[in-house]
Amino acid sequence: MKLILIFSALFGASLCLETFIGHQVLRIKTRNEEEVKQLQLLESLEHLELDFWINPSTAALPVDVRIPANNVQAVKAFLESHGIEYSILIEDLQVVLDKEKEDMAYGQQRERSSNSFNYGVYHTLDDLYAQLDHLASEYSNIVSKLQIGQSYEKRPLYVLKFSTGGSNRPAIWLDAGIHSREWVTQASAIWIAKKIASDYGNDPSVTSLLNKMDIFLLTVSNPDGYVFTHTTNRMWRKTRSKNPGSVCVGVDPNRNWDAGFGGPGASSSPCSDSYRGPSANSEVEVRSVVNFIKNHGNIRAFLTLHSYSQLLMYPYGYKCTQPADYAELDALGRAAASSIRSLYGTTFTVGSICTTIYQASGGSIDWSYDYGIKYSFAFELRDTGNYGFVLPASQIIPTAEETWLGLKKIMEHVRDNPY
């Protein structure tokens, strides 16, 4: 039976799913600014069709890049001719994706036979949305489902509201999956939803938190992109909006916020994976969140989940100056990273976006911070590059568990330090 399942999963996948046979992911270690510039030159050569998982920025940080099979040798030759060091992270991406597909098919089969949701496997959008309904009915005393808008392709944007009542209470915003290929974020978010709901009344910290504040959780910020990663291209990052005058589709929704929009670290080319869009908030997925937060009027923390690299970052990304609350945010980030590390020893690097990775404009936590939401943090979850965006499903629950400890540390601080 398992073989039939696997075969049907792979065969079904082969009908319209883009394949990555022979694609390699390299980790490149630069030693100086000159080598970084060489990689930036490589990045600008569109005919190579390179997909940078971690962009070239400074010599201190590694660069991860997916290379199509027919360009692997050319890129390696380029690196070798410039004496730039590299290693192979993923020998053949399709082998990893086939295993991922097989695990999903097997997980779905087990779910059907046990009639229960398995938090330790990756799910389609429909399955995630069905589970939101299930949580809202199972924990109806504190969980309700709101629709805050629709995606470009008219899919609903669903938020779970965790609340013990009262009107316009101070609240915490949490979202995941703004970059659609970062599957461990949507998977962690649904586990965290269940955790918050089931801990209320059992965990004193969560109970006191929800007795004072509400939590809003958007598990899939970019549903069109997420569906596309399941049906067509597992490596898709952007939205699916059409760009007038270009054959290239989509905008990087985390370069589309009204915070230094159009500045460094965002592209003006619609074919780029970091295309900022024609204007700030052009993407309805971004606009819906902005409108919700503005209309709510009492959001006290803005937390967003990305992958990968194991980072915990605060503003700014669009500029390299420290935020006014630098000392408090840095100390809180370090406390949260310590909580994360306490479970499985997973280490997170803490700092501002600009100093930790690179200058990047139009990001969500810069907008939220400038809007007056002091506790604005972005998490980059597991791992540090062994699997990158294709983290095995066996790591979903450990990732979610440790992430929750970091989130909870921040939420407790927000609860105890009203402003």
Strand partners, 146: 159
Name the residue with tokens 């540390």.
409
Distance (Å, rounded) from C-alpha 52 to C-alpha 296? 37
**Residue 5 has what pLDDT?**
45
Catalytic annotation present for 401: no
Residue 187: left if φ>0, alpha if ψ -120 to 50, beta else—which one? alpha
Distance (Å, rounded) from C-alpha 260 to C-alpha 366? 8
Name the residue with tokens 């200058």.
359
Cβ–Cβ contacts within 10 Å for residue 331, how many?
12
CB 116 within 8 A of CB 133: no
Distances (CA, A) of 353 to 162, 315, 371: 29, 6, 17
The DSSP secondary structure of 76-92, one letter per residue, reads HHHHHHTT-EEEEEES-
Residue 126 CB contacts under 8 Å (≥ 6 apart), including other chains: none
pTM for the structure as a whole: 0.95
Name the residue with tokens 């070798």.
80
Angle between helices 183-199 and 396-416 (to 10 degrees): 60
Strand partners, 311: 349, 380
Q: Tell me the average pLDDT of the chain.
A: 95
Phi, psi of 293 (to 5 degrees): -70, -40
Question: Which amino acid is located at 62 in the chain?
Answer: P
Distance (Å, rounded) from C-alpha 62 to C-alpha 388? 13
Strand partners, 298: none
pLDDT in tens, 237-285: 999 999 999 999 999 999 999 999 999 999 999 999 999 999 999 999 9
Distance (Å, rounded) from C-alpha 302 to C-alpha 365? 7
**Residue 298 has what pLDDT?**
98
CB 119 within 8 A of CB 190: yes
**Residue 8 has what pLDDT?**
45
Rg (CA), the chain: 21
pLDDT in tens, 83-103: 999 999 999 999 999 999 999
Q: Which of 100, 182, 380, 402 is catalytic?
A: 380
Q: 127-166 burial string, b = 16+ CB within 10 Å, else e?
A: bbbebbeebbeebeebbeeeebbebbeebebbbbebbbee
Could you tell me how far CA 209 lies from the centroid of its own chain? Answer: 25
One pLDDT digit (tens) per residue for the chain, 419 residues: 444 444 444 444 445 789 999 999 999 999 999 999 999 999 888 899 999 999 998 888 899 999 999 999 999 999 999 999 999 999 999 999 999 999 999 998 999 899 899 999 999 999 999 999 999 999 999 999 999 999 999 999 999 999 999 888 999 999 999 999 999 999 999 999 999 999 999 999 999 999 999 999 999 999 999 999 999 999 999 999 999 999 999 999 999 999 999 999 999 999 999 999 999 999 999 999 999 999 999 999 999 999 999 999 999 999 999 999 999 999 999 999 999 999 999 999 999 999 999 899 999 999 999 999 999 999 999 999 999 999 999 999 999 999 999 999 999 999 999 99
